[in-house]
Structure 1
Amino acid sequence: MIPLTIGSKADAPDRPAVIDGSRFNRHTFWCGQSGSGKTYALGVVLEQLLLGTDLPVAVLDPNADFVHLAETRDDVEPDLRERFAGLDIRVFHSSTAQEPQLHARYVDLSVRSQAAVGRLDPIGDEEEYNALLHLDKSSNAFDRDAFLRALAASGDPARQRLGRRIDNLEILEWPLWSFGRSSVVDTVDERPRVVVLDVGGFSHPSEPQAAALCVLEHLWEHRMERRPLLIVIDEAHNFCPPVPRSSVEAQLTEQLIQIAAEGRKFGLWLFLSTQRPTKIHPNVLSQCDNLGLMRMNSPRDLAEIADVFGFVPVAMLEESPTFRKGEALFAGAFSDEPQLVRVGRRLTVEGGSDLAVLAAG
């Protein structure tokens, strides 16, 4: 066991609440409605994982909540501040005003994912899909303008239609693509302690999902290397919903279903956080063995949790609407028995917190 102190017992404030860090080799589901303290508490758990284990972490961060994970609060003890300063934490930003920027290589995507980005169906758009399948898109030869010019001048109607589709959708104009420069997957391959992907600043709605797809596809392609990684996905309903709303979302959901079903034996472990369990694809949710539950008022959502996480006493789940802000129920593989916890204080600076309403001057 690797004991991680994440707060105190809700019914006994003088007793520490401990979970087992070694049991994050299972998929984890973390949920709580807006205002429950879900993101703050998630940060507490991640901090304790960083201090108590050597497990590398990659964070998909759509709200910039973890971009300051390397910065300790002013009131943190010097020894803890020194320990965090020694951690290799790298943050990549989707906003063009911040460095380093988050880039990925379009050519690194599988053909199926490139087709999803271009809204191509392998049957309905069979000729354009086939043209995409047989293009040379090697990273050492890829140039955006030359690529489109070559398609237009190819004399092949299918390639010309493909070029017009890519141009009309402005796919290659996305700031996400690096075009020969380095990709965030190169950093993930180095396995620093933490890689934070701040994906919330992209202008196109599919860019955060395409960035996630680049990383997850790469990890799955190299799964046989068996290099452990905890994949934290905040606002996970935007990455694996029950009913995908776009071709990119459908491809990403399919990849996450595969990791959820088979990733454990390769060291790819999910840590999913969202406000409502019913917004997560059931084939992903059903693979989770750890549960962190904060205040939840929706009977439908509580019924879903009771159905999926049968190891949690129903009476404890029914108490969820009465949880105070910062209280959480921990149950599953990482807790010997279900326990209600008052989550402890953050050690690092929280990003993306609510803005205050100021009084009139």
Structure 2
Amino acid sequence: MTANVEVDPPTAPTSEPSALTHLESQDGRSFVARGPGSERPLPGDYLELEGEDGILAFVEEVSDEASGTGFAATGTLIQVGGGPGPGRPTDSPWHEVPVRATRPDTVQRLLSGADSRLHLGHLAGQEAVGVALVPNRLNRHTFWCGQSGSGKTYALGVLLERILLTTRLPMVVFDPNSDFVRLHEKAVQTETEDEDQAHALHDREVVILRPDDDQSPLRVRFTELTPRAKAAVLRLDPVVDRAEYNALLRLFAGDFHTVDAGQVVPHLHSLGDPDAEALAQRIENLGILEWTKTWAFGAAPVTEVIARRPAATVLDLGSYERHEEQLTVALAVLDDLWARRAERRPLLIVVDEAHNLCPPDPETPLGVAVRDRLVQIAAEGRKYGLWLLLSTQRPSKVHPGIVSQCDNLTLMRMNSRDDLDQLASIFGFVPRGLLAQAARFRQGEALLAGGFVPMPSIVHMRTRVTPQGGTDVPVPMP
């Protein structure tokens, strides 16, 4: 006789992520989670607390247990929902709470926001989770860096498009490599959403100023430069070259008025003053009047264009033949913005390849003047609505007094340990575990941290709506 044995029906497979071990928190804010090595998370991952809806554990550091068979993850507890951004849960301690990998929909509530146009891209490894821009936190300086080939410039274009689409914050772009001169054009797209966004961008006023464009020239007026800027252009030291410097001051303090730089030298020659004659010879010897693509000669200067605040003004500095011309135009614009600071009109100042304008040790008086003005804007400009966005390949190539004032960070692939250590020391709010991953980023991946994103996140940047102005030169093939 055979006994009847009841067999439980097979359990249906579940899509729930498998549980890790447990989480401990003494203060209800930070945590330690321990589990087997097979379930090891990465810095930047999120864990769910079992039975606690709306509370996530954000992993910042992961290390091996002393036994070598498991891991210990540390980080911050976050309250999801109930406001525009993440908050803190209660200060109550947690003991032996089971945790598991977070479902994408839970992370989406934290990072994605309500408007897909705000998405800079998607969370690396989770295409369903968009990472949203927090536009009202662009009122802080931003540092944007990544080594050559990381996709830094393309990703910066994504950010500029999102700003144009979702805010009314005007911007001026210093573009030394002509990478953003097509910010007013539409890239070839197939998706309906991209087409709609391209049309929305087309409705924004984007002004492209080029040195050799008769319709939209990028020019400045020598006569309207500050005394220090004029002296920097002429390589005059107020003490060493005191006679010529004084002649320069007297020239524009008197009855001489003109908008034409070409009239300055003849007027100096006509004065019969040996110091004025020496100043005229200096101008001729330096070839300043040969900068025909720099001086306005009666045309509207760039400062007047920026003063009326188009949605974006792109300055094509890359089309100048001399670096001194780039510096002169940049100095004229920055000085004018600083002179108008009391107007408190918000403006995002985007400086691509920022090491060209604000290196730690400039070699010329013009370079020093530009760097010093940017240092001043970094230190004091925020309260006047002048906000910097600086993009470069290495943090060490930009003056530390500027980098240290930045509250937002975008970091793309970076192999140099020294550079990563420098960033860690400056941006203490960014978990070191996330910074350490930058050496393994693929092209187009970026660590975003600071107030302009909901949480520090490793993001795969979205496709641009406008075309890239500059591209790599291909290798010739048979």
Equivalent AA in structure 2 for residue 324 of structure 1: R
Is this contact kept in 1: 2:132–2:454, CA < 8 A?
A: no
Query: What per-residue deviation string (whole Å, max 9, x for no partner) do you get for residues 147-175 of structure 1?
Result: 21221232211111111001110112212
User: What one-letter code is carried by the residue in structure 2 that aligns with 1:342?
Assistant: H
Identity percentage over the alignment?
Answer: 47
Offset of residue 142 of structure 1:
4.0
Give the match's secondary structure for 1:334.
coil
Residue 333 (structure 1) aligns with: 451
* Matching residue's letter, 1:260: A
Task: Indicate how the Cα distance of structure 1 residues 214 and 144 shifts in structure 2: closer, same or farther if over 3 A, else same.
Answer: closer
Of 243, 246, 250 in structure 2, the residue corresponding to residue 127 of structure 1 is: 243
Which structure has more strand as a fraction of its residues? 2
- What is the correspondence of 1:288-299 to structure 2 with a 5 Å cutoff? 288-299=406-417
TM (norm. structure 2) is: 0.73
- Select which of 88, 100, 103 maps to 2:219: 103
Q: Deviations over 1:56-108 (max 9, x none)?
A: 011000111111111111215332222112110000113x2675221111111
Tell me the amino acid that sits aligned with residue 323 of structure 1.
F
- 1:71 aligned onto 2:185: yes
Aligned position for 1:89? 206
User: 2:173 pairs with 41, 56, 59, which one?
Assistant: 59
Structure 1 residue 19, shift from structure 2 partner: 2.4
TM-score by length of 1: 0.96
Aligned pair partner of 1:310 in 424, 428, 440 = 428
DSSP 3-state at the match of 1:135: helix
Aligned to 1:37: 151
Alignment correspondent of 2:162: 48
Q: d(CA) in 2 for partners of 1:17 and 1:139?
A: 57
Match of 1:7 in 2: 121
Mark the CA change 1:70 to 1:146 in structure 2 (over 3 Å): closer, same or farther: closer
Structure 2 stretches lacking a partner, 5+ long: 1-83, 85-112
Q: Aligned AA for 2:171?
A: V
Where does residue 53 of structure 2 map in the other structure? none
Kept in 1: contact 2:183–2:206 (CA 8 A) = yes
SS at match of 1:65: coil
Partner of 1:17: 131
SS in 1 for 2:318: coil
The alignment partner of 1:251 has SS state of helix
Number of the residue aligned with 1:156: 273
| Cα contact 1:139–1:179 (8 A) shared by 2 | no
Higher Rg: 2
1:239 maps to which residue? 357
Query: Does residue 335 of structure 2 align to residue 217 of structure 1?
Result: yes
Q: How does 1:178-327 map to 2 (within 5 A)?
A: 178-327=296-445
Whether contact under 8 Å (1:25, 1:269) holds in the other structure is yes
Contact 1:27 1:290 in 2 (8 A): yes
Report the CA distance shift for 1:144/1:335 in structure 2 as closer, same or farther (over 3 A).
closer
Name the CA shift for 1:50/1:323 in 2 (closer, same or farther; >3 Å).
Answer: same
Maintained 8 Å contact 2:173/2:315: yes
Higher RCO (C-alpha under 8 Å, 6+ residues apart): 1
**After the TM superposition, which of the residue ranges 147-156 and 56-65 deviates more from structure 2?**
147-156
Q: Is the 8 A contact 2:357 2:371 kept in 1?
A: yes
SS class of match (2:448):
strand
Q: Runs of 4+ in structure 1 displaced over 3 angstroms?
A: 137-140, 142-146
